[in-house]
Amino acid sequence: MDDATSSGISEPLDLVKLSLGERVFIKLRGDRTITGVLHAYDAHMNVVLSQVEETIHIVDVTEDGNPLPPAVDRRNLEMLFVRGDGVILISPTQQ
């Protein structure tokens, strides 16, 4: 069965295809991560997600250059288009 599975996978993006309609985790540039249900993607890794939770990791720096403890900002979005040039990784979520 594993052979049958891998026979149709010829390029990395075919693996992303398997996650269509599923919740995926996406790491983005700018210290952002996103989880959401993957609806569409293309060769540029542009993706469309729904039920998105975006997490932004912020490290503020005081005026004399000392970093403050990292903060996390979250927001929820119903539907989101993510431009592919910011995508670092896409992975299916656990469970």
Residues that bind other proteins (CB under 8 A): 1-5, 8-9, 17-23, 92, 95
Least CB distance from residue 27 to other proteins, whole Å?
Answer: 19
> Minimum Å distance from CB 71 to other proteins?
18
Are the C-beta atoms of residues 43 and 57 closer than 8 Å to each other?
no
Q: Which are the contacts of 85, defined by CB distance < 8 A and separation ≥ 6?
A: 29, 44, 45
Residue 19 or 45 having the CB closest to other proteins: 19
Q: Closer to other proteins at the Cβ: 39 or 86? A: 39
C-beta closer to other proteins: residue 71 or 93: 93
C-alpha–C-alpha distance, residues 45 and 4, integer Å: 26
Task: Please name which of 93, 91, 83 lies closest in space to residue 27, comparing C-alpha atoms.
Answer: 91
